[in-house]
C-alpha cells in the first residue's frame, strides 16, 4: 500500500513537471516569435533609413501618374518593334526614343518600364529595373550625382536584404551628408550581390540640366554592373542626334489609333467630359476627329 502511494506521488509530480515544461516551451516559443518580429522590424527600419540616406529622390508618384494617363493597348507597337526587341537582347546597349512634344514619350517610357518590371518579376531573375523621370522644374534636385545615387537606391530597394557593408557606410558617413559616389561604387564592388542585367529607363533627358544632358550617359556606363541597357527618351535635337549617333533609335509618333484610344478613355474617365459628352456618339466622333487633326502626328 505504501509502495503504491509512493508511485502515485512520483507519477503525479512527473506529470506536473511535464505540464510545466510544456508551458515553458510555449512561453519560449512566443518569445522567440516576438524577438523575430522585432528583428524584422529593426531590419526594415534600417533599410528605410539607408535608402533615404542614399537619396531622397522619388519617381514613384510620377510613374503612377503617367500610368494613369496610359490608355490600355496604346503605344504597344513599340514592344514589338524590331529595334526595341534587338535592344532588349543586346548587352550594354542604348536605345534612344525621340519625338516631338506631345507625342506621348513619357507615357511610353512609363509603359515600357511597367513592361520590363513585369518581365523581370515573371522570370525570377537577378535583373533589375531603374526608372528616372527628368523634369525641367526639378533640375535643382535632379543633379547628376543625385540621379546616379537614385540608380543605386532603386537597385538596393529591390534586393532581398541590403548588405551590411552599405549600412556600415551610412554609419561611417558624417551625419547629414550623402554617400560619396566613389564609396558607393567601392562597396557595391565588394558586396556579394548577384546583379544581372540592369535596365535603365531615362525619360525626358531634354528637360534635365545641361550638365546632366552631357554627362549622364558616361555616368551610367561607368556603373559597377556588368550589363546595363539604357532606354532614353527626349525631343530630337542636333545635340542628342550626335550623342546617340551610334545607338539604336526609334522615332516616337502619335498614331491616329493611339490618339483615338486616349481621347475615348478620357471621355470615359474624366467626370467633366462625361457630363458634357454623355452618350452622344456623334459628338464623341467630332471631338476625336478634331483632336486627331490638331495632333496630326505631332
pLDDT tens across 258-271, in order? Answer: 665 666 666 666 66
Q: Using N-to-C axis directions, what is the helix angle for 144-156 and 181-190, rounded to 10°? A: 30
- Residue pLDDT, tens place only, 49-96: 999 999 999 999 999 999 998 877 678 899 999 999 999 999 999 999
CB-based contact 75:39 (threshold 8 Å): no
Give me the residue label for grid cell 502619335.
254
Report how far residue 298's alpha carbon sits from residue 210's, in angstroms, rounded to the nearest whole number. 25
Q: Which range among 123-127, 244-248, 270-274 has the greatest average pLDDT?
A: 244-248
Q: What sign for the dihedral angle of Cα 274, 276, 278, 283?
A: negative
Alpha helices for 191-245 (secondary structure H): 210-221, 238-243
pLDDT of residue 268: 64
Pair type for strands 227-234 and 248-251: unpaired
In this predicted structure, the answer to whether residue 45 has a pLDDT above a threshold of 90 is no
In this predicted structure, the answer to whether residue 21 has a pLDDT above a threshold of 80 is no
The grid coordinates of residue 144 equal 547628376
CA distances from 241 to 4, 155, 199, 219, 246 (A): 101, 29, 22, 19, 9
In this predicted structure, the answer to whether residue 193 has a pLDDT above a threshold of 70 is yes
Q: Long-range CB contacts (< 8 A, 24+ apart) of 221-225?
A: 221/92, 223/148, 223/151, 223/185, 223/198, 224/185, 224/188, 224/189, 225/195, 225/198
Q: What pTM did the predictor assign?
A: 0.78
CB-based contact 131:155 (threshold 8 Å): no
- Residue pLDDT, tens place only, 229-269: 999 999 999 999 999 999 999 999 876 556 656 666 666 66
Q: Which residue has the higher pLDDT, 19 or 102?
A: 102
Amino acid at each position: 500500500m505504501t509502495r503504491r502511494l509512493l508511485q502515485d506521488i512520483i507519477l503525479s509530480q512527473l506529470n506536473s513537471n511535464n505540464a510545466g515544461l510544456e508551458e515553458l516551451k510555449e512561453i519560449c516559443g512566443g518569445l522567440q516569435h516576438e524577438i523575430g518580429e522585432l528583428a524584422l522590424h529593426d531590419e526594415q527600419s534600417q533599410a528605410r533609413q539607408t535608402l533615404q540616406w542614399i537619396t531622397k529622390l522619388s519617381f514613384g508618384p510620377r510613374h503612377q501618374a503617367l500610368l494613369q494617363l496610359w490608355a490600355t493597348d496604346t503605344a504597344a507597337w513599340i514592344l514589338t518593334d524590331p529595334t526595341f526587341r534587338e535592344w532588349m537582347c543586346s548587352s550594354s546597349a542604348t536605345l534612344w526614343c525621340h519625338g516631338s512634344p506631345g507625342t506621348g514619350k513619357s507615357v511610353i517610357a512609363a509603359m515600357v518600364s511597367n513592361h520590363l518590371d513585369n518581365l523581370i518579376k515573371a522570370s525570377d531573375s537577378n535583373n533589375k529595373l531603374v526608372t528616372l523621370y527628368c523634369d525641367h522644374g526639378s533640375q535643382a534636385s535632379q543633379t547628376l550625382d543625385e540621379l546616379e545615387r537614385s540608380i543605386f537606391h532603386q537597385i538596393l530597394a529591390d534586393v532581398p536584404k541590403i548588405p551590411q557593408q552599405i549600412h556600415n557606410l551610412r554609419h561611417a558617413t558624417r551625419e547629414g551628408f550623402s554617400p560619396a559616389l566613389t564609396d558607393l561604387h567601392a562597396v557595391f564592388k565588394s558586396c556579394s550581390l548577384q546583379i544581372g542585367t540592369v535596365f535603365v529607363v531615362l525619360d525626358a533627358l531634354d528637360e534635365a540640366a545641361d550638365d546632366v544632358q552631357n554627362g549622364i550617359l558616361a555616368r551610367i556606363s561607368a556603373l559597377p554592373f556588368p550589363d546595363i541597357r539604357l532606354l532614353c527618351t527626349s525631343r530630337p535635337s542636333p545635340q542628342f542626334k550626335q550623342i546617340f549617333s551610334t545607338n539604336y533609335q526609334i522615332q516616337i509618333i502619335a498614331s491616329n489609333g493611339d490618339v483615338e484610344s486616349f481621347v475615348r478613355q478620357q471621355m470615359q474617365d474624366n467626370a467633366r467630359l462625361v457630363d458634357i459628352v454623355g452618350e452622344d456618339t456623334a459628338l464623341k466622333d467630332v471631338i476625336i476627329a478634331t483632336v486627331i487633326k490638331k495632333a496630326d502626328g505631332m
